[in-house]
Structure 1
Amino acid sequence: MSLISVVLPAKNEQGNIGLLIQEIHQSLYQDYSFEIVITDDGSDDRTVQEAIEMATDCGCSLQVLSHSHSCGQSTGVYSAVCHANGDWIITSDADGQNDPADYPKLIALAKTQTAEHFCIAGYRHQRLDTPWVRFQSRFANKVRQTLLADGVPDSGCGLKLFPKKTFMLLPYFDHMHRFLPALIKRLGGAIIICPVNHRDRSAGVSNYNVWNRLWVGIIDLVGVFWLRQRAKYPESVIVRFDSNDEKSANN
């Protein structure tokens, strides 16, 4: 099969990124051709050095793109996908909370797809977050489903697989990574849900909380709803006419 690009947007993930690269290598190297593409989103620790050292030890292909200052997760994903060489993209959180052992499950589901555009979306069915965080997530996902109807029960899960060509057709905006299934469905793409594992991070703290997600999430949700309502994809019939055929018929 074609090359798979594993995309990891990372900011200050020293202590996590090395182990994650080792796990990705162990999960994929025997059966798949793959590369790892990291966007270093303004880290001020040894994230990049740790990634390079581990990739060298494992002997796996690695690209590192560096932002001079933090631009956010969506821009990190966008930068990495634009530079990725693979036909299929796997996005995964760089903190290690997404389990690379689940990657082959996503790939197996992707192989069954006949649609040109699709998204295999991870679903953390046994989350390790606090009850308060799980309540926020349930509430947010219920609102999303009411407005977007993208069929995704866990919009916050960073583990997804989709074709690169599909991603490049999507409108880019900050926080778009939270709406990838809805945006792909807007193209007429298939959305497939895959239950995946959820783990605690090994080191560091999350760069996100409810307050830095809430208001931008509401604005983005309204924007994606607007895009979805205005999507029109007519069924087209193509008739090709070759003037040489007419000449042959007349002779």
Structure 2
Amino acid sequence: MPSPDAAAVDVSIVVPVRNEAGNVAPLIAEISAALDGRWRYEIIYVNDGSTDATPQRLAEIMKARANLRRIDHAISSGQSAAVRTGVRAACGVIVATLDGDGQNDPAFLPELIAAIQNGDGRIGLAAGQRIGRKATGFKKMQSRVANSVRNAILRDGTRDTGCGLKAFRRDVFLIMPYFDGLHRFLPALVRREGYDIAYVDVIDRPRHSGVSNYGFFDRLWIGIMDLVGVWWLIRRKKPTPVATEVTSHG
């Protein structure tokens, strides 16, 4: 549930995190540098069953930072579940997400958030598109294949759905059907709801420390099943009827 200070927040930054103790403090400092003085914002870290010192690092920083919130998953439930937990708890009308490993540069958050604000209600999602991706050759190839297959089937017009840097309207996110893997299909599902998408090129960075905890289509067969499921949802979507209220007089 949103905090009692919901009226004082315009933007919520949601960071799903698992075993990223060494990356917590540097990333929070970068988020603050990017947003301070621009928006009234909160930072929500969803600690997805970390077994390292991530909870302790967050607790230390929370003592000095009133706009930092922490939500714990008792056991790791995956990136989509962590994002959804953060969005449901968010106070902001606009929610932005980024990965907790430091590879997503918070300097791009203002452009993503502004794309939603300036969209006149038409833009449901502003999606980061990575340039100069810092990953192994195998992982780059894996992403290219997955993105090509997804785009061919869903025709979502997005070259990179694996980028954690995104901004979206909270109400739009919450009306979408939830499933494990949702975060990989946001462009197609946002279009399904009748909204447009803005794209922002972002520069990828090496992670600050640690090793990868979340991966893109790590579970290949589940990813394929998700793709088929999203294709079915899009095919089954019916246009929203135009309703006109008829009143009688006399």
TM > 0.5 between the two?
yes
Instruction: Give the corresponding residue for 1:35.
Output: 42
Match of 2:53 in 1: 46
Give how far 1:12 is off: 0.4
Cα distance in 1, alignment partners of residues 78 and 208 from structure 2:
21
When structure 1 is superposed on structure 2, of 198-207 and 126-135 the one drifting more is 126-135
Partner of 1:74, secondary structure, is: helix
Q: Secondary structure at the match of 1:212?
A: coil
Match of 2:135 among 129, 148, 155: 129
In structure 1, the residue corresponding to 2:15 is in which secondary structure? strand
Shift of 1:121: 0.4
Residues 1:216 and 2:222 are matched in the alignment? yes
Larger Rg: 1
Provide the residue aligned with 1:83 in structure 2.
Answer: 89
Equivalent residues of 1:22, 1:54 under 8 A apart: no
1:156 counterpart SS class: coil
Distance in 2 (CA, whole Å) between partners of 1:3 and 1:206 is 31
Which of 189, 206, 224 is matched with 2:195 structurally? 189
1:19 and 2:26 matched: yes
1:238 alignment partner in structure 2: 244
Deviations 1:88-121 (A, max 9, x none): 0101101111100000111221122123561000
Measured after TM superposition, the shift of residue 230 of structure 1 is 0.9
Matched, 1:68 2:71: no
Which of 210, 215, 230 does residue 204 from structure 1 map onto? 210
Single out whichever of 24-33 and 209-218 deviates more from structure 2: 209-218
Structure 1 residue 118 corresponds to structure 2 residue 124:
yes
Q: CA deviation at 1:212?
A: 3.0
- In the TM superposition, residue 85 of structure 1 has moved relative to its aligned partner by 0.7
Match among 180, 188, 191 for residue 174 of structure 1: 180
Note the residue ranges of structure 2 that are not aligned, 5 or more in a row.
1-7
| Corresponding residue number in structure 2 for 1:150 | 156
TM-score for the superposition, normalised by structure 2: 0.91
Distance across 2 between alignment mates of 1:94 and 1:9: 6
Cα gap change, 1:22 to 1:15, in 2 (>3 Å): same
Matched, 1:227 2:233: yes
Count residues in correspondence.
243
Counterpart check, 1:94 vs 2:103: no
SS at 2:218 equivalent: helix
Residue identity matched to 2:59: I
One-letter code of the match for 1:95? D
RMSD over equivalenced CA pairs, Å: 1.8
Instruction: For 1:43 and 1:213, locate their aligned partners in 2 and report how far apart those are by CA, in whole Å.
Output: 20
The answer as to whether partners of 1:4 and 1:89 remain within 8 angstroms in 2 is yes
Calculate the TM-score normalised by the size of structure 1: 0.91
For 1:174 and 1:239, the matched residues in 2 are separated by 39
